[in-house]
Amino acid sequence: MSSVREKKVVEKEVEVAWRCDVCGVQTANSEQYKQEWLSFSGGHCGWGNDSGDSREWYDVCSVDCFTRQLQESISDLMEYADRGAEIADMPVKFAQKLLDRLLSQKGE
């Protein structure tokens, strides 16, 4: 069997840096991103089959930015708390309790 060969150039999109969704800090250091940043999502099942459209992804660079993103996102998800709403792999009501604790400790 004989084959015909030709050279082709293929472009591939790759991540080269990450930007914090809260404060805008950026890093191109993948080890720093893996060890010191948090990537998480939030969403709900309140729309039935269309609920996948509710899923949002976030990258944050610090505990403070995580707290601020929770504050911003939980209010939108709370109305779906009884229909599978979650954020950062936590039920949204638990996330609200965690947020309340983080904010009370910050004020001490």
Domain boundaries, the chain: 18-107
Kindly indicate the confidence band of residue 55, based on its pLDDT and cuts at 50, 70 and 90: confident
For residue 26, give Cα distances in angstroms to 30, 54, 75, 103.
Answer: 11, 26, 27, 25
**Tell me, what DSSP letter sits at residue 53?**
G
Q: What is the pTM of this model?
A: 0.79
The H-or-E segment that residue 41 falls in is strand 38-43
Which tens digits make up the pLDDT trace of 17-48? 999 999 999 999 999 999 999 999 998 776 66
Yes or no: say if 40 and 58 are a contact pair by the CB < 8 Å rule: yes
Collapsed DSSP state (helix, strand, coil) of residue 19? strand
